[in-house]
Amino acid sequence: MSQTSLAQRIAERSARVAIIGQGYVGLPLAVEFARVGFTVAGIDTDLDKVTALNLGRSCTPDLTDEDLKALIRDGRYEATTEFAVLERSDVVIICVPTPLRKSKDPDISYVVSAATEVAARFHPGQLVVLESTTYPETTEELLLPMLQAKGGKIGEDFFLAFSPERIDPGNPTFRVGDIPKVVGGVTPACTELAAALYRSIVPRVREVSSPKVAELAKLYENVFRNVNIALANEFALMCRRLGVSAKEVIDAAATKPFGFMPFYPGPGIGGHCIPVDPLYLSWKLRLNGYEPRFIALADEINRSMPDRVVEMTIEALNHRRKALNGAHVLMLGMAYKRGVGHTRESPAIELFKMLRDKGAEVSYADPHVPSIGIDGVLAKAVELTDERLAASDCVLIVTDHPEFDYHRAVEIAPLIVDTRNATWGISAPKDRLVRL
């Protein structure tokens, strides 16, 4: 298929779309393409997930079961574990995980595995887009040679681009269809086709000159966030020493209508983007003989936050003549951020382990995380009852879920350590309520 005929099929929504990886990124994207009229196949290696999806069970907070069922009923969406569907696909989008290895180096194995499947079934005229966050030059150094090996000329016989996903799972204000896309193709024809595809589902597409620019744009967004969170975290530690609330200072600074964007401190960073993506960039730069300093410093500060929170907890208990060893600590929140059940890289896990290792009796409440395996042991969430609040020696607020009744917690718990300023505006004696 030529560029013109693929462009026409995209414009008419008759192009068949396959999306590899049906997680937080791939599923909402598949659904968005299906909603505007494309026929979409969602490929995933997880058979349980595929079965659940085909029964209309969504696995992301951004999609209701009813919406998924309607698309399946209309024949617009189907999940599958069969890569054979790629043989009939005009567009293939790769949304597989890009985690870190234990050594903190990029683990690109999922992308390689997905790309191998694409290359094995590759046919002329296909548009392939990588969306997984990755180090600069992945598209051109890794994917392009794999597809080129099958014959065909890039920009004429087949098309390849990178377009980073920016979804914020569980954010009701900005969903896939509300967030502009950045698109960088290997050739101008690749960019043009990929941009035309995304224009069918998003309000704005920013075309850039290469996949490398698009890859770096995503990394810069997340480095920016990581560094600013680290700054807020360190600022909070400084404010504690000076006896003022970092939140009050940051809120005051945020009244400046230009040149300032507020970031707030917390117990550490989680999710699989902010703590992970900057290290993809450092890794690549290290190969180029450059050691990025901001990224390393931000990583060090953010990763030290659970230690700082444990110190705060010990200090707060000490004021009340209690030791952490033997204390009943009730943690509020296991998810890495409010309103979701996502626990990957959650600082709550580390806090749970550290407190337990120091002899505390730790339990947790989280309406979104009913249970979690920590070091091979299953921990089950407890109900947040008045009795539990009263029986604890310390309530540690780790995730500011909207479901928690913070007024009640402050009223009943003998001691609260609040790492999220979730109790902001609620007054209590200083030795009963400690905020980061």
Our CB check for ligand NAD shows the closer of 49 and 368 to be: 49
Strand partners, 377: 374
| Binding residues among 128-187 for ligand NAD as defined by CB under 6 A | 132-133, 165-167, 169
At closest approach, how far in Å is the CB of 125 from ligand NAD? 22
At closest approach, how far in Å is the CB of 229 from ligand NAD? 15
Torsion, CA 94, CA 97, CA 99, CA 105, rounded to 10: -30
250 counts as binding ligand NAD under rule CB under 6 A: no
Asked whether 360 and 326 are in contact (CB, 8 A), the reply is: yes
Number of residues near ligand NAD (by CB under 6 A): 27
Which of 23, 56, 170, 262 is the binder for ligand NAD (CB under 6 A)?
A: 23
114 counts as binding ligand NAD under rule CB under 6 A: yes
Instruction: Tell me which DSSP letter residue 344 carries.
Output: T
25 counts as binding ligand NAD under rule CB under 6 A: yes
Which of 24, 38, 135, 198 is the binder for ligand NAD (CB under 6 A)?
A: 24
Asked whether 211 and 184 are in contact (CB, 8 A), the reply is: yes
Strand partners, 127: 91, 159
110 counts as binding ligand NAD under rule CB under 6 A: yes
Our CB check for ligand NAD shows the closer of 132 and 419 to be: 132
Instruction: Tell me which DSSP letter residue 390 carries.
Output: H
Tokens at 388, concatenated: 């539990």
Cα 123 to chain centroid distance, Å, stands at 33
62 counts as binding ligand NAD under rule CB under 6 A: no
Our CB check for ligand NAD shows the closer of 194 and 327 to be: 194
Task: Choose, from 95, 190, 239, 273, the residue flagged as catalytic.
Answer: 273
| Binding residues among 273-292 for ligand NAD as defined by CB under 6 A | 273
Q: What is the DSSP string of 63-116?
A: S-HHHHHHHHHTTSEEEES-GGGGGG-SEEEE-----B-TTSSB--HHHHHHHH
272 counts as binding ligand NAD under rule CB under 6 A: yes
43 counts as binding ligand NAD under rule CB under 6 A: yes
Please measure the distance between the N-terminal and C-terminal CA atoms of the chain and give it in whole angstroms: 59
| Binding residues among 90-109 for ligand NAD as defined by CB under 6 A | 95-98
Pairwise CA distance, residues 140 & 152, whole Å? 15
| Binding residues among 1-20 for ligand NAD as defined by CB under 6 A | 20
In the annotation, is 273 catalytic?
yes
Phi, psi of 320 (to 5 degrees): -100, 15
Q: Which residue is nearest to ligand NAD (CB)?
A: 23
Pairwise CA distance, residues 165 & 133, whole Å? 7
Q: At what angle do helices 347-357 and 293-319 cross, to 10 degrees?
A: 40
Our CB check for ligand NAD shows the closer of 188 and 373 to be: 373
Our CB check for ligand NAD shows the closer of 216 and 412 to be: 216
| 3-class DSSP assignment, residue 298 | helix
In the complex, the residues that contact ligand NAD under the rule CB under 6 A are: 20-26, 43-46, 49, 95-98, 110, 113-114, 132-133, 165-167, 169, 272-273
Looking at the annotation, which residues are catalytic?
273
